[in-house]
Amino acid sequence: MKILCTGTAKQQEELRAKLNDVELSYCNVDEFVGANLQNFDLIIDFDFDADPVQKSKQYENISGKCILLGATQTNLYSHFSGENYIMGLNNLISFINKPIWEMTALNNDSADKWNTIAQELKLNYKIVDDRVGMVTPRVICMIINEAYYTVQEGTANKNDIDTAMKLGTSYPYGPFEWASIIGLKNVYNVLAAVYDDTKDERYKICPMLKRDAKEAFYIL
């Protein structure tokens, strides 16, 4: 099976660990735009979230291929008509190499096409509703956001919150550790996308998180 992937170095590293001995071809974003995607059996675009409107146009004429997109900040149905085999994947760092992938499907045909590939690659996965933020990303980012509110209010410091969450809930990381691994830019973008989609106050971004994101990434 020929697989082409684009994404950050960390995303590619996690994918290599996940797929182990499967042969993968990598390219950067610029190379990916000009690549002959029809030459590959599976296309993995971890960078789809960055510009879904423009990037979806790249896949309009790709037929018969399964296309796997990093889609934690958008949904699939807003960008595709249903003529492609499109799957979404939780593309946040620390989740790509999990035992079970969290995924969305554009339609039943996409899910069936992916199931055949997943069996060949021996991958376990769970399909969730095609919604902005999926399930795990919105939950984890909301927890990180609440942790920021707790620090902002002076209830506890970051280290104490990380320790309490790991000991009290058996999470592998505390909220601030997880934010560092995922990347605060990504946490901010997921929260912003989910809030814009739902207008749910639970996802309204804490001012301290906004400040830290601005200081760390100069993006806001």
Three-state DSSP at 161 gives helix
Three-state DSSP at 87 gives strand
Where do the structural domains in the chain lie, given as residue ranges? 3-127, 136-217
The pTM for the full model equals 0.90
Specify the range with the lowest mean pLDDT, choosing from 61-65, 94-98, 117-121, 137-141.
61-65
Per-residue pLDDT of 14-36, as tens digits, reads 999 999 878 888 887 677 766 77
Specify the range with the lowest mean pLDDT, choosing from 79-83, 122-126, 186-190, 206-210.
79-83
Query: Looking at residue 165, what is its pLDDT?
Result: 92
Torsion of the alpha carbons at 128, 90, 22 and 9, rounded to the nearest 10: 180
The average confidence (pLDDT) of the chain is: 91
Mention the CATH class of domain 136-217: mainly alpha
Three-state DSSP at 104 gives strand
Which CATH superfamily is 3-127 part of?
Answer: NAD(P)-binding Rossmann-like Domain (3.40.50.720)
- Mean pLDDT to the nearest integer, 198-220: 84
Can you tell me the distance from the alpha carbon of 170 to that of 65, in angstroms, rounded to the nearest whole number?
Answer: 40
Q: Tokens at residue 184, please?
A: 């605060």
Per-residue pLDDT of 95-116, as tens digits, reads 999 999 999 999 999 999 999 9
User: Residue 220: which pLDDT band, with cuts at 50, 70 and 90?
Assistant: very low
Would you call 170 exposed, middle or buried from its count of C-beta atoms within 10 A (0-12, 13-18, 19+)?
exposed
Query: Looking at residue 33, what is its pLDDT?
Result: 65
